[in-house]
Structure 1
Amino acid sequence: MTMLSAALAASAVALSAAPAGADPGARPAGPPSSDAQRGDAHGAQSTSSAKRTVDRLFHQAERATEKYNLAKEHTDELRDRVNVLHNRVARGQEKVNQLRGALGALAGAQYRSGGVDPSLTLLLTEDPDGFLTKSATLDRITNRHTGQLRMLRTAQRVLRQERTEAAGKLVELERSRKAVSQHKREVTAKLAAARTVLNGLTQAERDEVRRGERAQRTERQGRPDEQPGEAGVAGAVTVSSRAAAAVRAAQQAVGSPYAWGQAGPSAYDCSGLTQWAWHRAGVSVPRTSQGQAGAGQRVPLSQAQPGDLVVYRDDASHVGMYVGSGQVIHAPYPGAQVRYDPVQMMPVSSVNRP
């Protein structure tokens, strides 16, 4: 099964239909000529070529979407970190200013009290005991001065470090923003190219695609009693309450539109759907399909249970949620809706249990 067939069918519906009237100059119906046979062969080849091209473009767009998701997630994290550092720098500067003020007051007091040599002051004073008491106080002030100076130096060092880190994070944030824009442009270009190919199909080719899509959907969905449903979430195995909750959330999303870069609650891309469903169950999973390929415990496909994440292709560019009965729920591609499909609709890379 290719991801293209439904997209071709959907695009065919959206495109304008051919005129209903017959061509007055058309030849009477009869056995197909060799020219007609060659034309049919060319049309079949054209449709097949279009399918391969759009499948490839959708795959590339999905891969770029996951890169976009990763870069955007990194950008959001960096922005949060920069805000934290800016707050720390502000508090650190305030602390440095306070310490400087305290040290200035101590320095002034020490200068006013310590302008004369202590031994001479002791000889001249009429109250030696009182002088010794004052001298001890000055010693304590000196010790406090030293401690405050040490605290100031420490605060200044921390402030410099946090300013340096903040500056570095700002540079990294700008790079990440550029990466987000680059991947967004790549996704947009791939989808535009796919639309161009779809718009180039003839009405006969669109009709052929619709017939093929109906046949494929019937074959993929199997017999009515094999359809997954609320009662069949766990199937023949017992799953955790959280896995069951994640499956229920995914089922609630069936029929929602695919939208790249979205993670619910009204539209999803592939990894956005699975992340949203598991989040509804109280479990955090990574944002991208590549990240989800490394999440939790890896299990064989033969041991898949409802709630497991099924990752597809060698580059882990697509992911769905296994729901039992040999089915997954996934957000397929632009122009399609969240739906059920066979677990082996494309090459499985891994199965992971969060």
Structure 2
Amino acid sequence: MSERLVRLACTAAVAAQAVLAPVPALAVPDAQPPVAELLTDLQQLYRQAEQATETYNAAEERLNRQRAEVIRLDGELAGARRSLHSSKDEAGRLARQQYQSSTGISPYVRLLLARDPQHALDEGHVIGELARERAKTVGRLADGEKKQADLARKARKALDTRLLLAEGQKKQRDEVRDRLLDVERMLASLTPDQLTALAALERTETADAQRKLTVSGALSATTPPPSQEGDRAVRYAVRQLGKPYEWGAAGPKAYDCSGLTSQAWDHAGTPIPRTSQEQWAHLPHVPLNELRPGDLVVYFPEATHVALYLGNGRVVQAPRPGAKVKVSPIAANPILGAVRPDPKARPLAHYTPPTVPEGATEGPDEGFGASQPTVPTPT
């Protein structure tokens, strides 16, 4: 075959592939953008995914609280109905007693005609007590009916709210799914060499940020000891090293960033809010130069990522989809600030840090070179 025919055949094959091959959702242009630009785009996608995840987690927390409120109101309503039924039975019993004791003669005439006036007086007292008891029972009956109606109305409203929250949670779940699909499509569009270059560039950027933070004096040269609760939180987090990141997960097999920190402090005996944004909003802030193990380091202006401080400029974190729980430099992400779940707890007099397993600092903080992020399946 001549050289001209070979060129024509290759051209035809390429054209056929262009027609028959499915077009990817995020097509990669012939002229690839610089690695730094790719890194910025991918970091932005991860940030959007994590922000959507934290919003989903907040929706899940609200839904859980509403479920508990519905259960509580249903229990109160059931109790009110039992009490109302009991009051009705009591009112009926008293009505029968009064009917059986009634003679149609006034108490004054009965007293005049009685052979034993004292007995008549005692009998009248008993009848009066029965009447007063009946009046109280009727009052309780009316109150019970009102309480049951109020509780029934609140229970219906609580159930309606729960349904609305469940619908909102579904939308947030779909938002996370869309953002993770964007990440997956971009990762799939990159070559192995590009992924390697991205990981290397981000490691370089992290090392530079860590060096600048250390040189600035923002971190203390020595790490003060944690409280007893902080020590327990750190040891729990260290035991989770190597477990995969999974959006919306709070253990024990997988975690997202705030799932790890909230569970660590829950196991330490100091429950804290579930999401990074709530942790930043509701826990006392501490300066970076006063950090002690167990404190939480919060990242990005929207407080969408969080890690647990290990000491000596390192954190334990669930970095992002595709990565695992690991030890990272504190400057692995742009720092917003830090919070302390136990501000009033005294530091330990003597502290021995937990042993960090070999390889805990290895592996990507960024998740580029690991398996692609798991995209949640709609349910």
User: By the TM > 0.5 criterion, same fold?
Assistant: yes
Shift of 1:252: 1.9
Partner of 2:63: 75
SS in 2 for 1:293: helix
Tell me what 2:91 maps to: 103
Higher share of residues assigned helix: 1
Which residue number in structure 1 is paired with residue 306 of structure 2?
Answer: 319
Query: Partner residue of 2:128?
Result: 139
Q: What residue in structure 2 maps to residue 262 of structure 1?
A: 249
Aligned letter for 1:242? E
For structure 2, the residue ranges without an aligned partner over 5 or more in a row are 1-9, 11-28, 212-220, 342-379
Deviation at 1:238, TM superposition (A): 2.5
Secondary structure at the residue paired with 2:332? coil
User: Does the 8 Å contact 2:206/2:329 carry over to 1?
Assistant: no
1:57 aligned residue (45, 54, 57): 45
Q: Distance in 2 between matches of 1:197 and 1:78?
A: 38
TM-score by length of 2: 0.73
Tell me the alpha carbon deviations over residues 295-346 of structure 1, each in whole angstroms, 9 at most, x when there is no partner: 4431111222221111111211111111111122211111111122222233
2:287 corresponds to which of 295, 300, 306: 300
Cα distance in 2 for residues equivalent to 1:262 and 1:277: 13
- Whether 2:180 is the aligned partner of 1:191: answer yes
Tell me if the contact between 1:220 and 1:342 (Cα under 8 Å) persists in the aligned partners: no
In 2, the alpha carbon distance for the partners of 1:215 and 1:49 equals 15
Percent identical among aligned pairs is: 32
Deviation, 1:104, is 1.1
Rounded to whole Å, the distance in 1 between the matches of 2:232 and 2:192 is: 44
Greater Cα offset, 199-208 or 246-255:
199-208
Aligned partner of 2:167 in structure 1 is: 178
Note closer, same or farther for the CA distance 1:265–1:203 as it changes in structure 2 (3 Å cut).
Answer: closer
Further displaced range: 260-269 or 213-222: 213-222
How do 1:1-354 residues align onto structure 2 when only pairs under 5 Å count? Answer: 42-45=31-34, 47-114=35-102, 116-118=104-106, 119-121=108-110, 130-212=119-201, 236-354=223-341
Give the distance between the partners of 1:340 and 1:262, measured in 2 at CA: 19
1:255 and 1:338 in contact (8 A); partners too: yes
- 1:145 corresponds to which letter in structure 2? R
Q: Does the 8 Å CA contact 2:316/2:326 hold for their aligned counterparts?
A: yes
In structure 2, do the counterparts of structure 1 residues 286 and 123 end up closer, same or farther at CA, with 3 Å as the change threshold?
same
Q: Which amino acid aligns with 1:338?
A: V
Change (3 A) 1:77 1:207: closer
> How big is the shift at 1:267?
0.9
Once residues 307 and 123 of structure 1 are traced to their aligned partners in structure 2, the CA distance between those partners, rounded to angstroms, is 87
Q: Which amino acid letter does the alignment assign opposite residue 294 of structure 1? A: A
- Please give the per-residue CA displacement for 1:175-212, whole angstroms capped at 9, x wherever unaligned: 11112111110000100011111211245433433553
What TM-score do the two structures reach when normalised by structure 1? 0.77
- Which sections of structure 1, spanning at least 5 residues, go unmatched? 1-24, 26-39, 223-233
Check whether the contact 1:50–1:198 (CA below 8 A) recurs between aligned residues. Answer: no
- Which whole-Å deviations, capped at 9, do the CAs of 1:262-316 have from their partners, x for residues lacking one? 1112211010111111122221111000111134431111222221111111211
Misfit runs of 4+, over 3 Å: 47-50, 119-133, 210-222
Letter in 2 for 1:311: V
Amino acid at match of 1:99: S
Q: Which amino acid aligns with 2:321?
A: P
Alignment RMSD (CA, Å): 2.7
Report the residue type matching 1:333 in the other structure: R
Contact 2:225 2:293 in 1 (8 A): no
Deviations 1:205-233 (A, max 9, x none): 334335535656776788xxxxxxxxxxx
Bigger mean CA offset, 60-69 vs 121-130: 121-130
State whether residues 255 and 339 of structure 1, in contact with CA within 8 Å, keep that contact through their aligned partners in structure 2: yes
Q: Is the contact made by 2:206 and 2:333 (CA closer than 8 Å) also made in structure 1?
A: no
Which residue identity is paired with 1:284?
A: P
Give the Cα separation in 1 of the matches to 2:285 and 2:328. Answer: 21
- Once the two structures are superposed, residues 112-146 of structure 1 have per-residue CA deviations (whole angstroms, 9 ceiling, x without a partner) of 33351414555666665544433322111111111
| Residues 288/325 of structure 1: CA separation in 2 closer, same or farther (3 Å cut) | same
The DSSP-based 3-state class of the residue aligned with 1:340 is strand
Code of the residue aligned with 2:257 in structure 1: it is C
Tell me the distance in 2 between the aligned counterparts of 1:48 and 1:293. Answer: 30
